[in-house]
Amino acid sequence: MRLPLVIALWCALASSALGAELSGIAQSGGKPVQNAVVWLEAPGAPPLVQSKPVVLDQRNLAFTPRVLAVRVGTKVDFPNNDKIFHNVFSFRDGRKFDLGVYPVGTSKPIVFNQKGLSRIFCNIHPHMAAYIMAVDSPYFAVSDSQGVFAVSGVPAGSYTYHAWRPGGPEITGTVTVPANQGPARAPQFEVRWP
Amino acid sequence: MALRARLVLCVIAIVALTTEAQLHAQSRSVELDLTGGYSGEEIRAAAVQARAFGQVDLRSQIQYFGEVAWGQRWSEEAMVGQPLFGADPMGSDVFGAAYPYRDKFQVIEAYAERTFRPRGALLGVRAGQYRTPFGIYSRSDYGYSGFIRPPLIRYDGYYGLSNNYMERGAMLTAGVPRLYVEASLGKPHDVGSSQRRNGTDGSVRVQGYHKSLIVGVSHARSEPYLPSYFAHGRQIFTGADARWAHPSGVQLRGEFFHGHSFTGVTTNGWYVDGVLHHVGMGPFTAVARVESLAYTAAAPFARSEDRVTLGTRLRLPGYLTAQLNYMHQHGDLPKIYDNAVDVTLTYSFRYR
């Protein structure tokens, strides 16, 4: 009798401490939008501690994923997994760099130390293009092919959110994340482009 | 009429490829390049390339690549000198950076490849039709890279090792990313105007890198492209290639060849490419090439040629790429003019 109560109490405390999962759907013209980036402003968030490698792969003459969202200060690795040479560069805005040519099996890193959108290209293969959105927040997500996204670990509160999609403008709004929301009872909200 | 029929065939092939990709949209891509060009040598050109590539499925890690191409050139100028056997009778190599202009659809490359990465090693096997693995040999390094002409040592009929040489066989890759070997064994299936005689081809290339310097050494043996009553023995070439890149956007690359296209003659040649793509240059890439070719043979067959190329590539919106080259050459290869300005415009489309 006492065990279920302990488990329920632990779950409630844990979900409160870990934050809620804020899930939603990105749409444009009534259709789901893949690769939309959604992030919440969080000026008081703890500093970045990067524990896992973040990778923008070069394979089959394409960048994978096509849209990558990272927190400002994140080191992104650009491995070349094609047997031909690639030349990764970004020149328009955001983080500007040119990694030069490098062969199969090798990788070069770039730290995205300023927020904003970087357009990534290969100077050898004109069809290779990707976006990296660096955001000044730990709370962000990229929508899947159904337009669905989920931002995890969000503390309860009211937030200003931003959303961007390839070829579309950045939009902004507010969203409230209620207290004591676990992943199973995630709030839903919609990000809509006209 | 024949041209129209070929264009229709081309469209059908592209639609078929695209439909195939739509049916199996799993890590698969179809690309289409449409190019028009004009040279100050008073040559016009049109070309189409369609390619499909990707992974057979995500688990097998087997990759495939297939490319078909059509190209045609039209000239109103006569060249100076007699045409070389195996070279284009037009007397110019303009627009021939990576593809032939034979007014027919051709399969350029078609192969399957599996790459393994056990414990950081690099192992691979490729089977099918592919470019001879010698020196800087990928189509990516020549097609639409900013240069409209191929290096002299890599054009049909110039006694070197043409970019239009293809092997039908198998290629093995073994080593680690820092140092690996590519070895190919096959039969020639050339797509350009110089066609090697049937026989067994073998080539070996070793590539290594240290920091930003990548170097390679290659050796290739095959049959001559000249007729057997004239050319005896084997075609044998040994070469070295290098690339170097600086974070400022400067890249240098080049190749050196030594060998012979048949017994009793010698070909020496080299080229150095400079590519400048500083982040401040936006969509512009500046390119420059200096090169030399020396073919030593009994008089009056010996030839030599030196060439300088300056140019730019501009990535335009709407999947368009423009290339502009100025070329100056002197020597005794058959040619139309010593100086020419060449320009191309390419529309590229990819479906994933």
* Alpha-carbon distances of B225 from B48, B88, B90, B162, rounded to whole Å: 26, 13, 19, 11
A104 and A60 assigned to the same domain: yes
- A97–B279: do the CB atoms touch at under 8 Å? yes
Least CB–CB distance from B348: residue in A99, A106, A126: A126
- A101–B214: do the CB atoms touch at under 8 Å? yes
What confidence score (pLDDT) does residue A144 get?
94
Across chain B, mean pLDDT equals: 90
- Check whether B265 has a pLDDT greater than 80: yes
Per cent of chain B over pLDDT 90 is 75
Domain that holds residue A38: 1-43+139-194
Give me the mean pLDDT over the B311-330 stretch. Answer: 94
Domain that holds residue B308: 2-351
Cα–Cα–Cα angle for A157, A163, A167, rounded to 5 degrees: 180
Cα–Cα–Cα angle for A62, A64, A70, rounded to 5 degrees: 135
A113 and A74 assigned to the same domain: yes
**Does B281 contact A at CB distance below 8 Å?**
yes
Structure token digits, residue B154: 């890599």
Amino acid (one-letter) located at A82 = D
What confidence score (pLDDT) does residue A185 get?
52
Give me the number of domains chain B comprises.
Answer: 1
A36 and A84 assigned to the same domain: no
Give me the mean pLDDT over the B95-111 stretch. Answer: 95
What confidence score (pLDDT) does residue A4 get?
54
Among B131, B45, B50, smallest CA distance to B94 is for B45
CB of A55 closer than 8 Å to CB of A63: no
User: Residue A80 belongs to a domain with what CATH number?
Assistant: 2.60.40.420
ipTM: 0.79
Helix residue ranges, H only, chain B: 2-23
pLDDT in tens, B48-85: 999 999 988 777 779 999 999 999 999 987 777 777 88
Least CB–CB distance from B277: residue in A83, A89, A104: A89
Give this prediction's pTM: 0.86
* Contact partners, residue A90, CB within 8 Å, separation at least 6: A96, A97, A98, A118, A119, A120, A121, A132, B279
The total number of residues written for chain A in this structure: 194
What confidence score (pLDDT) does residue A47 get?
84
Listed by number, the residues of chain A in 103-132 with a beta carbon closer than 8 Å to a beta carbon of chain B are 103-106, 123-127
User: Residue A32 belongs to a domain with what CATH number?
Assistant: 2.60.40.10
Amino acid (one-letter) located at B228 = S
Phi/psi at A184 (5° precision): -70, -20
A57 and A35 assigned to the same domain: no
User: Residue B345 belongs to a domain with what CATH number?
Assistant: 2.40.160.10
What confidence score (pLDDT) does residue A14 get?
45
What confidence score (pLDDT) does residue A16 get?
45
- Check whether A151 has a pLDDT greater than 50: yes
pLDDT in tens, A29-54: 889 999 999 999 999 888 888 889 99
